[in-house]
Amino acid sequence: MEKQKKNKFNRRKLINSMALAGITFPLISRENVSAQEMKDTMKSNALLWAIAWKETAAEYGALCHQAFNIARWKVDSAVAKRKRSDKPLAIISDMDNTIIGATSYWGYIINQQKEFFDDAIWDKWVPKNLISAIPGSKRFLDHCYEKNVEVFYVTNRNQGDSTYQYALDQLQYLKFPYADDQHLTVYRESSNKMPSKEAISKSHELVLILGDNLNDYKRDYYVKDVDERFDIMSNDRDDYGDKFIILPNPTDGHWVRAMFGTSEPEPNEENLMILKDFATRSAWNGK
Ligand SMILES: [Mg+2]
């Protein structure tokens, strides 16, 4: 609470001092912008480092392979231990940013001079299948298929009546195994995936869950407080790499909701300052 008060005070003070200095925020989106305007915007776009990292860093790819390698070991171990009388083995995987990459969407967002997730653009982008498989994902999912470990895909998306078909098309487009309506669940109205987890656990032995959002693992993480969310994560520390395998995603998820109170914050100056305050909350004072 004390930290929040401090953040609000600093934010107001900083906005006022920037206004006095004639500094403005480049949030206006227009069709025709000059090269200079584009340069000025790009100097401060909050998304640049995150997307450049995903687009270029071999370290990003290595982290993904690391996650899927651990997942493969877990699957192999479960297969080795399984007795014939046991329930069939299964895993659950989230889709977006876990096995399906969206850098073409984020690149477009940057080129439109936007700095926040844009739901309307996302809904137009999804049916175009401008997607890629996350490094290591297909190799791992194919391994599950070879070992007779069923893969259940669980996602929350909403692009209207065609939502389910779009999601299924993407799984099939990337040639992932078990890409059928027996293995895909789409939540349109809620991000709570726990009913699927419970249902699959009844009929199968659930080996692990894959996701880029801790909410993919437990609903406990659907809280609007950064520090509380971090504490819950610390309590679950033994589960990571065991029951839940996490993929890196620096652009979106419920970690964003914990900062802004919503997963899709409005693109405005106040929210940019909230982002700045969180990014610098443990900053050295220079002394
Ligand atoms: Mg996801």
Could you tell me the distance, in angstroms and rounded to a whole number, from the CA of residue 96 to the centre of ligand 1? 4
Could you tell me the distance, in angstroms and rounded to a whole number, from the CA of residue 103 to the centre of ligand 1? 13
Q: Spell out which residues have Cβ within 5 A of ligand 1, the ion.
A: 94, 96-97, 212
Could you tell me the distance, in angstroms and rounded to a whole number, from the CA of residue 253 to the centre of ligand 1? 7
Over residues 187-245, the pLDDT tens digits come to 998 889 999 999 999 999 999 999 999 999 999 999 999 999 999 999 999 999 999 99
Could you tell me the distance, in angstroms and rounded to a whole number, from the CA of residue 154 to the centre of ligand 1? 9
Rounded to an integer, what distance in angstroms lies between the CA atom of residue 280 and that of residue 82? 49
Could you tell me the distance, in angstroms and rounded to a whole number, from the CA of residue 220 to the centre of ligand 1? 16
pLDDT of residue 44: 77
Rounded to an integer, what distance in angstroms lies between the CA atom of residue 215 and that of residue 213? 5
Right CATH for 62-100+136-279 from 3.30.70.1280, 1.10.1040.50, 3.40.50.1000, 3.20.20.80: 3.40.50.1000
pLDDT of residue 15: 43
Over residues 66-108, the pLDDT tens digits come to 999 999 999 999 999 998 888 999 999 999 999 999 999 999 9
Rounded to an integer, what distance in angstroms lies between the CA atom of residue 114 and that of residue 111? 7
Over residues 152-195, the pLDDT tens digits come to 999 999 999 999 999 999 999 999 999 999 999 999 988 899 99
Could you tell me the distance, in angstroms and rounded to a whole number, from the CA of residue 121 to the centre of ligand 1? 17
Could you tell me the distance, in angstroms and rounded to a whole number, from the CA of residue 3 to the centre of ligand 1? 29
Could you tell me the distance, in angstroms and rounded to a whole number, from the CA of residue 193 to the centre of ligand 1? 11
Q: What percent of the chain is predicted at pLDDT more than 90?
A: 82
Could you tell me the distance, in angstroms and rounded to a whole number, from the CA of residue 246 to the centre of ligand 1? 10
Q: Would you call 272 exposed, middle or buried from its count of C-beta atoms within 10 A (0-12, 13-18, 19+)?
A: buried
pTM of the model: 0.85
Domain ranges of the chain: 62-100+136-279
Let me know: does 155 contact 185? Beta carbons within 8 Å: yes
Phi-psi group of 231: left, alpha or beta (phi > 0 → left; psi -120 to 50 → alpha; rest → beta): alpha
Over residues 2-48, the pLDDT tens digits come to 444 444 444 444 444 444 444 444 444 444 556 666 666 556 799 99
